[in-house]
Structure formats: structure tokens, C-alpha cells
Structure 1
């Protein structure tokens, strides 16, 4: 739904425009009317709109001046000029001001409807483009229904990036609806737009750069104002029981540059956030993982040693080295991203050991090393994290040291029963993988391991065995009916496959069955 403002000093004409707008059947809501340009401009300042329908000749401020000033307040404002004068000079000025169209009084319903229809289509196209710009920034599930209202386009915005401090309780409070309410409360009295970001437990807060509610606007420079606002929001969230890390961008930006602004803040947040939930100084965080070059090299060397011990299945030495390294990884001044990289590196090293099923789900249903690492990062207790990592690594070694035959045998048994129950259907390897919540390549390896055959050939052999049983039940059974029952495309294809697997055609098999052959 789009919002519109009408500026017209003649009350009869104003009512006529209002009736035309209401009867057009378009997703446009009349937000306000004004009797002159100055009044309309004040309305736009307090109530941003998508569409402005304005007369040219009005007291206090004419329509051309209103459009010029209105676009400064609402950069995305679409305007339609209405005049009783067919004057080329007016048209030229309207074009210079990028007015959408120019209508002559008296307004005709069909002409008005056509112009408004085209205007709405243009707004729709622009909103769709803006949504695409925000892909990767806003949470994917939220983006399709995200309201791109006039207030988002009204002025350049200051952006705050807010995320939950690591290893703090209250994860349930960081769900989108609850956090939207909390952030709006923390930002009061200034109005703000809250968007769930692409990363979990991370939110974008946008507020107008000139909003009086942002601390520091009275005579303080913009960088100081944005930084002070971020600290104020962080303090208010703390009072609400939410421990957050908050980072502000100092330069106001329109909706299109917001993508690059978010990317800059996201990288800074990811690189500077410590395990204690504080933001390191930029100069320190610019170093890899926030550590000195020597420390980074040492970290890489330790990771390599740990990966070698995993490959050697040397559990005792691995756990000893990991226990020695954990105090450094879990230091309160250490970078969170470095801990995450280290844990993900270990998960990948365990998954890479020859003979393990990389495509099978990991612990707690995780399907990738990144997800396993993410589970540790989402924890609520730093104190217990070290022992949890050691216990996790111990379980990983136990899994490596078992032949894993039991789990494979169990899955194959379940798969075999599943295929036999679906002989009268058409089943693909993708269907089977989805049913057992594993990858198709894992299904393929399991079938190959226990049958020395491919999934397709094994499934087809079961179908042909069933076909032989059906054909042998009596002379009245028709080959065509059996082919249809087992979901073959046609009788000819069924006969071809049957002969390939059985060594003779269905008819020959029926004849042989008649002489006692089975």
C-alpha cells in the first residue's frame, strides 16, 4: 500500500481529486490533504509519503517549489502536477524537477486513472529492485514481506548493527518480534526501522540522520552523534536485560548505499568482536583475527598439528594439545571469529578423514562443519565451553575409531525395506535421500557398500524380482498389466529391462513357468 498527499487550495477540486483517487481501485491510501504548498511540505516532514498530487498555483508556496522542497525531504517521492494552465513553461519546469506527469484541469477520470496506474507500476518496479538490493543483508524469510514504506526513503539514514554478545543467556529474547519491540523502545524517542539481518541474532537499526532523538545532533559533529547514539542504545538494551554489541556507521546513506554500509559494519563487527562481547579498537582488529602476526602464525601451526593428529587417529596427543591451546582460544580478549574458524577447522578435519561418511549428519543433526561450529558459538556459557569442546572432540574420535559398520548396516536395512515397500511407485535416489535426511551421494555409497551395485540397478532388480513373482502367479496375468503396476513407462521398455535382468523376455518366462520353471 502506498501513501499519497494532495495539495490543492480549491476545496471542490480537492474533493474531486480525492474521489478520483478513491475510485481508482489502486493500492494507494490518502494520508493527508493540504490547502497550500507550505502546509503540504510540513506534512511531508512529519509524515513521509510515496505520492504527491499538487496544484501549481497555490498560496504561500506553489506546486513547483513544493516539489523541489518535498524531494529534499522525501528523495523517493513521486509527483504529479495538476494545473488549469496549458503552459509549456510549467511543463518544462515540471520535467526539470522529474515530476512523473502533468495533468490539466478539469481532471478526467480515465486520464487520471491511467496516470496513477502507471505511477503505481513504477513504484512497484522500484520496490522490487530495492528488495533485490537487500538480498544478503536482510533475513531471507523476512525480505519478501518487508514493508518498503515512504519513511524508509524519506531521508538518509544512520545505521546501527546490533548483535547478541557471545555466550550470554537469553537467546529466546533475540527472536525477531521481541527484538523489534526492544530496539524500538531502546531507540525512543527517535523513530527507527528495525530489520533482522542475514546473520542469526543480528539486527539492523535505521534512523534519520537529522532525527532530534539521536544524541549529539545539537552542535555535535555527525560521527560523534552516531557513536553516542550507538552507546545510548547499547546502554538501554542492557537495562532491558539484553547484552548487545552495537556498532554505528558515521555517514548517513540512502537505501541503495545501505548494502555497502551493512557489509562494512558486518565485516567490522565480525573482525572486532571479542569473546567477552567487547569491540576491539579498529587498528588492532585490522590484524588477522585481531592477533599479532606471530600469534596468527602460531595459531595456524597448532591447527595443522591438530589436523595431523586427527588424520593419525591419535586421540590422546590430540586432546593434550587441544587442552593446552584452549586457554588462548577462550581468552576474553580473543576474537570470536578466530575461535569459530578454529572449531570449524577441526570439524572439517574430522570430516576429511578417509573412510568417514562426510555427507551423513554430524552431531545434533548438523549437516556441515560450519553448522557444528555455529552450535558452539550460539552457546550461553563461556565457562563450560572448553570442556564441551574437549568432550565433542572425544566423541569425534570414538566415531572415527569405530568401523561405523553398524550405522551403515542399519541404514541399508531401513533403505531396503523402504524400497521394497515402494515397488509399485516410481522412486528416485533423491526421494530416498530426502526420506532418510541424508545426501544422495551417501545413499549411493551405502548401496554400493552392501550390494556392490548402484542404487538404480539395485532398485530395478527388486522390481524385476517382483515382476517375476507376479507373472508366475497364473496364466491370466498379462505382461502389460504387470508393467503398469510397477510403473514402467510402457510394455516395450518393461520387456527390455526384464530381459536384461532375467535373461529372457516376460513371455518366455511365462511359458517357462507353465512347464514348472521358476
Structure 2
């Protein structure tokens, strides 16, 4: 829908033109109908106008002067002259002012519709090219529904990129919307036009303001401060990245990409205004310092130094706040902690990593830095508890696998080095796991399993000789076998066979027998 204004000192003619336009069923809205050029010019200065229909002869300010001055305010203004037959030659000369067309009085409906249809077609073409300038920047659905007047394409614009200030309360419903922010900026930038769009990147808004808006301010910094105060008064807590040099239409995409990089690089936990015209916040860590810091905390996670980690993390959070740390650095630090917990806990399930990502994202969206710090400490505490649980679970699982493997190779002669090689861990780790869950050394535990199997074989096949039992269980020497058997059962294999009857004592389960 395009906006039109009619300037005509004859009230009957004014009413007639207005009625004809309303009945034409064209995408044109009559925003104002005035009786002289001065009123029309004041309206054009205060409001965006696409189309001006003006009588050539009017009191106070004639139509030609109105067009000339109106185009200074709005270079994209499309003007249609209304003149009598006696003014025809005069009207032809006015076409040098780039008047779109003219209508002779009395204005006929078909003539008015024909001129307006051509004018709307030209505006549609220009609006389409305006949308093309924003493709790849503005969110597609918003771009498809926005209406860009001809004024948008005329003149240079100042570009602002707005994002919600980190660690501020969630804005009230409807505050963080393009139309709400545009209403605030229009108030602060008046009478200069501005446009606000949601961009593809979630949580950001793009604002374009006529370059003439800077003329009333001593510096861009003063102007940005005024915009920021206006938004704050509406409960909108934002950081604003600004390009100090006005951009031509063909430069909009490159200008946005530059602003987006600057926002990501310089947005801090405290900075509100980001502009090339003044320096970035101080106290920023170098890449080397940040890498060293993240590695130090990751090592504490890997070594499960919970108490030391928690003390140092609390201290580091205070340092971050006072140093003006950039959000990019803070996010990098937090994600390094998440990755350290993930890798130390041997996260293998995609859903577990997804849950971890969601938890970290929620931390970064906290409503205050203090709340963020406390939530991060609580999250780290829970992550260490999760590590302990994972470690316990992984130990239990390994012990079950070890027990199963030893049972399957009960007739073989296996050393702790053989088992460590099989499970790709160190012999000392195998020893710790066996000791933790059986209270025995590896040798005693394996011997216990062998003696339990020997007792089972004696019960099942009493005819087996001691030598045969020794050989089948890979003891090699029957005397050594007899000695070990007596240590675990309290009697020799021969005595055990002699005392065994079909109704004799039940065999103890695997894992029973002598304790260390």
C-alpha cells in the first residue's frame, strides 16, 4: 500500500479527486487532503509520502514550488500535476521537475486511473528492487510482507544493528519486535525516516535511517546515546552497533556483514554502544591468554579437581565482569568447559550432548550477570557430580566385562598385561577396577574363579584325576594346583573329592573363597 496526499484549493475538485481515487481499487491510501501548498509541504516533512497530487495554482505555495521543495525532503516523491487547459504550456515546462504526469481539469476517472496505474507499476518495480537490496539479510517472511515506499531507495542511509544486551531481563511481550522498535526509533529520529527489519540471525534487528538524521547532532556518539536512552525508556535493553559512514543502496549487504562481525567481536558483558568512531572496550583477553585459561580449567576437569575448580571459577567470574570481557570470549570459555566435561565423561550419546548444549545456551541467556555466575557455578557442580556417576558406571561396566572375559578364558593362562591389552587400558587401571569391586588383587580374583571351576568339575566328574584338573585349568604343575586349591578351600583336591557326595555341600558362587 502506497501513501498519497492531495493538495487542491478548490474543495469540490478536492472531494471529486478523493472519491475517484477511493473507487479506483488501487493500492493507494489517501493520507491527507489539504487546501494549500504550505500545509502539504509540512505534511511531507513530517510523514513518509509516496505520491503527491497537486494543483498547479494554489495560495501561499504553488504546485511547482511544492514539488521542488517536497523532493528536497523526499527525493523519491512521485508528483502528478493537476492543471486547467489554460495552464497546459506552463504544465509542460514543469515536467523538467521530473513530474510523473499531469491531469487536466475536470479530472476524469479513466484518466486518473490510467495515470495512477502506471505510477503504481513504477513504484512496485522500485519496491521490488528495494527488497532485492535486503535479500540475504532480512528474515525471508518479513521481507516478503514488508512494503517499501519509493523514499527507501533514495539517498544514503545510516545502518544500525541491534541485539538484546546480554544478561538483562527478558523484554516484555512485544517489545523486541521490529514494529515496536521502529516506533521508538521513528520518535527519536523524526522527522527523518527510518526502517527496522528482523534479520535472519535470531535475536537481531536491522535499522536503516536517513543519513540526514545526523545533521541535528554534534557526533554520532551523541546520536546513538539518544537512541539508546529512548529504547531504554520503553524497557528495551539493547546493544547497538553502528556504521558511522552513510551507505549507498549497493553497499547495504557489505555494510551489514561488517557490522555483524563488529557486533560479534566487540559485544561485551557491559558495553552498550559499538561504533568504529570510538575504541572497543578495554580489558579484553588476548587469544593466547584465553587459550591458556581454557586449557587450565579443562585440565582441572580432566583431573576431577572439583574443589579447586569451583574456587578458581568463582574468582574468574568476578575478573570477567570487571574487565569488560567480550561475549565472544565468554562464550568460548563456557563452551570449552562444556566440551571438557563431555570428553572427560566420554559422552557418546547425541541426545546427551544436545542436552548439554541446551544447558549452556540457557546459561548465556540469564537475566543478569550475577544470575549467570550463580547458575554457571551450580551447573559446574552438577557436571562434576555427573562425572562421578559416569565414572562409577563405567567402572562397574568394565568390571562386568572383565569378569565375563575371565570366565570365558578360565581354562587359559592369562596375565594382567594380556587383559590390559585386550581392553586398551593400563594394567594398573585393571588392577584398581578389580580391587575396587572384588576387594582382591587380579591374581587372587582369577585364581578364585579357577578354583570355583575346579570344584564344579570335581562335582560333575569325580573320576577326573588331580593331574588332569591341573592341566585343564592351565596350572601346569599339579602340586602347585593342590597348594592353591587348599588355600582357597581349606582342603586338598583329593580330600575334597573324598568328602564329596551327591547330596554334599553346594558349591559357592564364583567370587567366593579365600579373602585377601
In structure 1, what is the equivalent of residue 223 of structure 2? 229
- Look up the SS of the partner of 1:24 in the other structure: coil
- Look up the SS of the partner of 1:176 in the other structure: coil
- Look up the SS of the partner of 2:167 in the other structure: coil
Partner Cα separation in structure 1 for residue 33 and residue 248 of structure 2 = 27
CA 304–136 in structure 1, closer or farther in 2 if over 3 Å, else same: farther
Q: Would you say the 8 A contact 1:326–1:386 is kept in 2?
A: no
In structure 2, what is the equivalent of residue 375 of structure 1? 362
Q: CA deviation at 1:237?
A: 5.1
Q: Which runs of 5+ in 1 are unaligned?
A: 407-518
In structure 1, what is the equivalent of residue 348 of structure 2? 356
CA 256–171 in structure 1, closer or farther in 2 if over 3 Å, else same: same
Q: CA deviation at 1:24?
A: 0.9
In structure 2, what is the equivalent of residue 497 of structure 1? none
Structure 2 residue 374 is the aligned partner of structure 1 residue 387: no
One of 314, 320, 333 as aligned partner of 1:331 = 320
Partner Cα separation in structure 1 for residue 104 and residue 124 of structure 2 = 25
Q: CA deviation at 1:387?
A: 1.1
In structure 2, what is the equivalent of residue 299 of structure 1? 290
Q: CA deviation at 1:70?
A: 1.8
In structure 2, what is the equivalent of residue 466 of structure 1? none
Q: CA deviation at 1:331?
A: 0.5
Q: Which has the larger radius of gyration?
A: 2
Q: CA deviation at 1:240?
A: 5.8
1:75-94 residue pairs with structure 2 within 5 A?
75-83=75-83, 84=85, 91=92, 94=95
Deviations 1:135-188 (A, max 9, x none): 454455544444545786797655554443322334446743599279729956
TM-score of the pair, normalised by structure 1: 0.57
In structure 2, what is the equivalent of residue 168 of structure 1? 168
In structure 2, what is the equivalent of residue 316 of structure 1? 304
Partner Cα separation in structure 1 for residue 119 and residue 138 of structure 2 = 27
- Look up the SS of the partner of 1:384 in the other structure: helix
Partner Cα separation in structure 1 for residue 240 and residue 378 of structure 2 = 28
CA 73–250 in structure 1, closer or farther in 2 if over 3 Å, else same: same
Q: CA deviation at 1:260?
A: 5.0
Q: Would you say the 8 A contact 1:86–1:104 is kept in 2?
A: no
CA 62–319 in structure 1, closer or farther in 2 if over 3 Å, else same: farther
Task: Identify the range of structure 1 (318-327 vs 139-148) with the bigger mean alpha-carbon deviation.
Answer: 318-327
1:114-513 residue pairs with structure 2 within 5 A?
114-135=114-135, 137-140=137-140, 142-148=142-148, 160-172=160-172, 175-176=175-176, 180=180, 184=184, 187=187, 190=190, 195=196, 197-198=198-199, 199-204=201-206, 217=216, 221=218, 224=219, 226-235=220-229, 238=232, 243-251=237-245, 260-277=254-271, 291=284, 295-300=286-291, 303=294, 314=302, 316=304, 324=312, 328=316, 331-332=320-321, 333-344=324-335, 356-358=348-350, 360=351, 362-364=353-355, 373-380=360-367, 381-388=371-378, 390-391=380-381, 394=384
Q: Would you say the 8 A contact 1:193–1:206 is kept in 2?
A: yes
In structure 1, what is the equivalent of residue 6 of structure 2? 6
Q: Would you say the 8 A contact 1:158–1:206 is kept in 2?
A: yes
In structure 1, what is the equivalent of residue 411 of structure 2? none
- Look up the SS of the partner of 2:373 in the other structure: coil
Partner Cα separation in structure 1 for residue 249 and residue 8 of structure 2 = 30
Partner Cα separation in structure 2 for residue 274 and residue 133 of structure 1 = 30
Structure 2 residue 72 is the aligned partner of structure 1 residue 72: yes
Q: CA deviation at 1:296?
A: 1.0
Partner Cα separation in structure 2 for residue 286 and residue 387 of structure 1 = 29
CA 169–33 in structure 1, closer or farther in 2 if over 3 Å, else same: closer
Q: Would you say the 8 A contact 2:127–2:149 is kept in 1?
A: no
